Amino acid sequence: MYHNRCYNLGISERKYTEGSAFAGCRGSIRNGLLTAIVTDEEAAEIMEVLQRTQELSVTVDLEEQTIPCGNRTCRFSIDPVPRMRMPNGWDDSALTENYRDRISTLKAGDQKARPWAIPKAET
């Protein structure tokens, strides 16, 4: 069963927190926090392995959407836009810049279709 609780595995401290600290997790990606959605059982298993094996390091594979941990690899889901933004380091402005050509084409077409809607420059 998928849930909307978020876990902070705190890899260096081997602790986790759960609940309202990341309620909804909506702004997390903007702050560099990957919110990978796994089942409650998978989250519990990852946390148990990390607590049991202090020297274990965990690498989240964003491209493959997997979390290899111990003898198990958990798959996770993530919204495609944050999945694209995170490895590229794109904020809202940078993401918009990727559509510059499409925006210019739309503006030019709109100016032709509705010339009356363009504010006139004051002289």
- 121 pLDDT band (50/70/90 cuts)? confident
* Mean pLDDT on 75-90: 84
Instruction: Identify the sign of the CA torsion 104, 110, 113, 114.
Output: negative
Q: Is 56 among the domain residues?
A: yes
Domain count, the chain: 1
- 107 pLDDT band (50/70/90 cuts)? very high
Q: Is 103 among the domain residues?
A: no
Q: Is 45 among the domain residues?
A: yes
Beta bridge partners of 18: 7
Structural domain containing residue 23: 7-89
Q: Is 98 among the domain residues?
A: no
Q: Is 53 among the domain residues?
A: yes
**Residue 113: left if φ>0, alpha if ψ -120 to 50, beta else—which one?**
alpha
pLDDT at 29 over 90: no
Q: Is 71 among the domain residues?
A: yes
SS3 107: helix
* Mean pLDDT on 3-17: 40
* Mean pLDDT on 69-86: 85
Q: Is 30 among the domain residues?
A: yes
More confident residue, 92 or 10: 92
Q: Is 113 among the domain residues?
A: no
For 50, residues 6+ apart whose C-beta sits below 8 A from its C-beta are: 9, 11, 14, 56, 58, 69
Phi, psi dihedral angles at 116 (to 5 degrees): -70, -15
pLDDT at 6 over 50: no
pLDDT at residue 103, as a whole number:
94
Instruction: Say what the pTM is.
Output: 0.55
* Mean pLDDT on 47-55: 85
* CATH value at residue 20: 3.20.19.10
DSSP-derived secondary structure for 62-106: TTTTEEEETTEEEE-B--HHHHHHHHHT--HHHHHHTTHHHHHHH
